[in-house]
């Protein structure tokens, strides 16, 4: 495949067959809120609402190299688990109910929260790690279930993964739902009134909280004690020796360490020139502004659309099994096929027969995702921010690559090799220029010396 053109248009790539799917768009439209676009609260926000408050109002604090290394190791460990135990259930199941969203690590016979770390966990996971219990309790609340599982994976003295597994039974899903709703409304009220006083003390206050270290919070340790409602609802804890044994065996059999993913996102290979600068000498990203009352922001449109997908049947949206670990970003699947959600400020909907010309980047983004999941069909869900008629708010475009997916797989590998070589030579000149619209506000423009604008994509 030739790769001389702008990064979102590549000469010689076989175009996918493209069609609009109005039935799927209708399915999603039925789940959009009647009123304005709205944003969900995540289960992760509700484990420590105070941290979420500061993150949403003041931005995430810088991540220390140590912490980044731990997070990277955690992601690799999770990926290794996914690859070693494919038959265990559905991984990273996403769902949303009542304005609360969750990404469940594993949906097996019960919802499972998987934790990884360098150190052995306390003997009593339920007593010693209340935040794990909170998380699995919230999954149960959203799924209307009473049983969940906690799994902790850490290396033993010889570095071999060691698994602890306990099943946790809760008394009544209604109690769990009430506590979930109370946490969500507490966080929403704090954000609406810009007053975090009623939010419970953060469990990380005295454990190296990075918001405190960066001066991005006003906590003083005298905040209300966190609720114990989820722990109080526990009526049974059973150590699952059989699960521990199965996991230990599977992880030992796949003990070859996973190589570090070389790229964080598929976008890195879609726009490799921009990625070169972002990863070799990044500019500090601006702290996102909070929307003013009554204003619609692209993130709300995006989040509402995510909610429409995640509000469907359980398991409809989940991670797809990948055949390659070059890119760290997981491939989310909707109804078993890769998808991306994109927002548009266009006044008119795209015609399916013009979409390849209008959005050339989507075919490559989806082609890469198909290439690493052994699939040949994928979808873009387009959300139109300016749609006046509610029925025009969403559009689903289906891309069928057929055998042509092999060319996208080749481009994926070529782009990865070219970007790796550019980094090694500290020279981005061989990398294809980004789309023209990206150049206008690009903070790297002066250093990039990107080619002349003529002949480059407008998208």
Of the ranges 137-145, 242-250, 408-416, 438-446, which one interacts with ligand SF4 (CB under 6 A)? Answer: 438-446
Residue nearer to ligand SF4 on the CB measure, 273 or 369: 273
Residue nearer to ligand SF4 on the CB measure, 85 or 270: 270
* Residue 138 engages ligand SF4 in binding (rule: CB under 6 A): no
Least distance CB 275 / ligand SF4 (angstroms): 9
Residue nearer to ligand SF4 on the CB measure, 262 or 439: 439
* Residue 445 engages ligand SF4 in binding (rule: CB under 6 A): yes
Contact yes or no for 238/166 (Cβ under 8 A): yes
Structure tokens belonging to residue 362:
């989507």
Least distance CB 51 / ligand SF4 (angstroms): 33
Rg of the chain on CA atoms, in Å: 23
Contact yes or no for 114/105 (Cβ under 8 A): yes
Among 51, 78, 80, 274, binds ligand SF4 (CB under 6 A): 274
Residue 377 in 3-state DSSP?
strand
**Dihedral sign of CA atoms 295, 297, 301, 307 in order:** negative
Residue 195 in 3-state DSSP?
coil
* Residue 277 engages ligand SF4 in binding (rule: CB under 6 A): yes
* Residue 371 engages ligand SF4 in binding (rule: CB under 6 A): no
Least distance CB 16 / ligand SF4 (angstroms): 25
Residue nearer to ligand SF4 on the CB measure, 150 or 438: 438
**In the window 209-248, what residues touch ligand SF4 (CB under 6 A)?**
none
Structure tokens belonging to residue 168:
């946790």
**Beta bridge partner(s), residue 339:** 379
What number of chain residues touch ligand SF4 (CB under 6 A)?
A: 12
Residue nearer to ligand SF4 on the CB measure, 153 or 448: 448
* Residue 434 engages ligand SF4 in binding (rule: CB under 6 A): yes
Among 244, 297, 442, 459, binds ligand SF4 (CB under 6 A): 442
Residue 24 in 3-state DSSP?
helix
* Residue 448 engages ligand SF4 in binding (rule: CB under 6 A): yes
Contact yes or no for 410/431 (Cβ under 8 A): no
Strands 17-20 and 394-400, sheet pairing: antiparallel
Residue nearer to ligand SF4 on the CB measure, 95 or 434: 434
Of the ranges 46-54, 251-259, 273-281, 406-414, which one interacts with ligand SF4 (CB under 6 A)? Answer: 273-281
Q: Give 220-288 as a 3 state SS string.
A: CCCCCCCCCHHHHCEEEEEECHHHHHHHHHHHHHCCCCCCCCCECCHHHHHCHHHHHHHHHCCCCCCCC
Q: How far apart are CA 331 and CA 321, in angstroms?
A: 8
Which residues contact residue 349 at a Cβ distance below 8 angstroms, ignoring those fewer than 6 apart?
A: 382, 384, 392, 395
Residue nearer to ligand SF4 on the CB measure, 163 or 364: 364
Strands 161-170 and 147-155, sheet pairing: antiparallel
Strands 332-334 and 317-319, sheet pairing: antiparallel
Residue nearer to ligand SF4 on the CB measure, 6 or 311: 6
* Residue 439 engages ligand SF4 in binding (rule: CB under 6 A): yes
Q: How far apart are CA 419 and CA 403, in angstroms?
A: 26
Residue nearer to ligand SF4 on the CB measure, 250 or 434: 434
Least distance CB 116 / ligand SF4 (angstroms): 35
Least distance CB 204 / ligand SF4 (angstroms): 37
Least distance CB 433 / ligand SF4 (angstroms): 4
Among 433, 453, 457, 459, binds ligand SF4 (CB under 6 A): 433
* Residue 450 engages ligand SF4 in binding (rule: CB under 6 A): yes
Q: How far apart are CA 23 and CA 335, in angstroms?
A: 14
Q: How far apart are CA 123 and CA 375, in angstroms?
A: 43
Backbone φ and ψ of 448, nearest 5°: -70, -40
Backbone φ and ψ of 241, nearest 5°: -60, -35
Residue nearer to ligand SF4 on the CB measure, 110 or 438: 438
* Residue 56 engages ligand SF4 in binding (rule: CB under 6 A): no
Least distance CB 114 / ligand SF4 (angstroms): 37
Residue 142 vs residues 7, 103, 261, 287: alpha-carbon distances, Å: 41, 11, 33, 32
Among 273, 369, 379, 393, binds ligand SF4 (CB under 6 A): 273
Residue nearer to ligand SF4 on the CB measure, 79 or 456: 456
Least distance CB 453 / ligand SF4 (angstroms): 9
List interacting residues with ligand SF4 (CB under 6 A). 273-274, 277, 433-434, 438-439, 442, 444-445, 448, 450
């Amino acid at each position: 495949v030739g790769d001389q053109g702008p990064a979102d248009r590549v000469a010689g790539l076989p175009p996918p067959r493209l069609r609009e799917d109005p039935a799927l768009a209708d399915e999603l439209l039925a789940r959009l809120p009647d009123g304005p676009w709205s944003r969900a609260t995540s289960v992760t926000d509700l484990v420590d609402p105070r941290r979420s408050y500061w993150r949403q109002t003041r931005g995430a604090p810088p991540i220390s190299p140590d912490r980044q290394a731990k997070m990277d190791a955690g992601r690799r460990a999770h990926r290794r688990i996914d690859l070693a135990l494919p038959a265990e259930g559905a991984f990273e199941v996403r769902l949303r109910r009542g304005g609360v969203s969750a990404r469940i690590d594993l949906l097996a016979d019960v919802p499972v929260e998987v934790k990884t770390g360098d150190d052995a966990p306390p003997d009593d996971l339920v007593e010693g790690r209340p935040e794990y219990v909170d998380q699995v309790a919230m999954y149960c609340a959203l799924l209307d279930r009473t049983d969940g599982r906690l799994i902790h994976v850490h290396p033993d003295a010889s570095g071999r993964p060691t698994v602890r597994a306990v099943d946790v039974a809760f008394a009544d899903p209604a109690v769990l739902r009430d506590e979930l709703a109370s946490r969500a409304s507490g966080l929403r009220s704090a954000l609406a009134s810009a007053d975090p006083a009623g939010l419970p003390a953060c469990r990380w206050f005295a454990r190296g909280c990075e918001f405190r270290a960066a001066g991005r919070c006003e906590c003083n340790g005298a905040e209300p004690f966190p609720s114990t409602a989820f722990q109080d609802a526990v009526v049974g804890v059973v150590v699952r020796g059989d699960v521990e044994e199965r996991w230990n065996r599977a992880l030992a059999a796949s003990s070859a360490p996973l190589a570090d993913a070389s790229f964080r996102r598929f976008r890195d290979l879609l726009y490799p020139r921009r990625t070169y600068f972002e990863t070799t000498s990044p500019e500090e990203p601006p702290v996102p502004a909070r929307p003013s009352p009554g204003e619609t922001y692209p993130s709300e449109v995006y989040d509402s659309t995510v909610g429409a997908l995640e509000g469907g049947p359980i398991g409809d949206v989940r991670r797809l099994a990948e055949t390659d670990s070059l890119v760290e970003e997981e491939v989310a699947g909707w109804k078993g096929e890769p998808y991306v959600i994109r927002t548009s400020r266009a006044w008119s909907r795209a015609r399916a027969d013009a979409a390849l010309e209008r959005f050339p980047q989507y075919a490559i983004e989806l082609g890469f995702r198909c290439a690493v999941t052994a699939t040949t069909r994928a979808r873009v869900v387009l959300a139109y921010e300016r749609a006046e008629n509610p029925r025009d708010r969403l559009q689903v475009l289906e891309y069928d690559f057929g055998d042509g997916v092999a060319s996208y797989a080749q481009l994926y590998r070529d782009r990865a090799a070219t970007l790796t070589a550019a980094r090694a030579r500290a020279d981005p000149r061989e990398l294809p220029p980004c789309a023209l619209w990206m150049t206008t506000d690009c903070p790297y423009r002066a250093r990039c010396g990107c080619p002349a604008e003529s002949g480059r994509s407008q998208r």
